[in-house]
Amino acid sequence: MDRMLYISMNAAQQVMRSQAANSNNLANVNTTGFRADFEQFRSMPVFGEGLPTRVYSMSERPATDYQQGSVASTGRELDISIQGEGFIAVQGKDGREGYTRAGDLHITESGQLVTGTGLAVMGEGGPIAIPPSEKVEIGADGTISVRPIGAAANALTQLDRIKLVKPELNQLQKEADGLMRLADGADAPLDATVTIASGTLEGSNVNAVHALVNMIELQRQYEMQIKMMSTAEKNSDSTARLLQISS
């Protein structure tokens, strides 16, 4: 009886974890440049003394969905989107370099170029700083040009270049802060083949309909495991009564 109970308890726990991952995807359906997480179950035999007698389920995140999200035109000069494969290099909260597709950039009061979540955008020599200027342009290769205050209309000065990278996707992993990083901890090199489009933004690649359907399926799986636990309890009570009668 305990086998049935513990296996159903384990399954319910793993379904809850999978539901949490699915809910996170759904919550980020409108997050700029968000990449959905895949989730799957697999069998995990329990090994110990003697032969393995039980197989539990285990929820895991095998990979991240790197398919491109929909691109919308905003007309804003500091909004950029990656064309095809590639990522924008940013500095994470912990100081390490990470990679994102979120191109909703803005300039802070101190002149630092950051993403919508406040992460510093990396240039050729580190985080990019923008001096006071009347106009800021970002070229297709990530080159940032500015027109100083009081300068002529055609007096654009090249300031820096956004670090655009294109590592192999199988070498990337998504970390807890939502940024992509190389699995070996190294920094990806700048890739001149990556291009961007100014005045556009890439949205999330989460399919809201699929996520909602998956949420319903996971809820039904959870309810099924709870019923299994209830059945195990009833069977245990019935067995106890039979033993009392026989004694």
According to DSSP, the residues that pair with 83 across neighbouring strands are 195
End-to-end CA distance of the chain: 20
Tokens of 47: 């090994």
Q: Which residues contact 76 (CB under 8 A, 6 or more apart)?
A: 199
pLDDT of 105-146, one tens digit each?
A: 999 999 999 999 999 999 998 999 999 888 899 999 999 999
Is 46 a residue whose pLDDT tops 80? no
How many of the other CB atoms lie within 10 Å of CB of 113? 24
3-state DSSP percent of the chain in helix, strand and coil, to 5: 30, 30, 40
pLDDT bucket at 246, cuts 50 / 70 / 90 = low
Give the side-chain half-sphere CA count within 13 A for 236: 11
Residue 20 and residue 113: Cα distance in Å, rounded? 33
Is 167 a residue whose pLDDT tops 80? yes
Q: Provide the residue type at 108 as one letter.
A: T
pLDDT bucket at 3, cuts 50 / 70 / 90 = confident
pLDDT bucket at 59, cuts 50 / 70 / 90 = confident
Task: State the pLDDT at residue 2.
Answer: 64
Task: Judge contact between 73 and 199, C-beta under 8 A.
Answer: yes
Write down the pTM of the prediction: 0.81
Residue where the block lists tokens 């923008």 = 130
Is 191 a residue whose pLDDT tops 80? yes
- Structure letter (DSSP) for residue 178: S
Residue 51 and residue 33: Cα distance in Å, rounded? 48
Nearest C-alpha neighbor of 200 from the set 117, 114, 118, 101: 101
Percentage, residues of the chain above pLDDT 70: 98
Residue 203 and residue 69: Cα distance in Å, rounded? 5
pLDDT bucket at 190, cuts 50 / 70 / 90 = very high
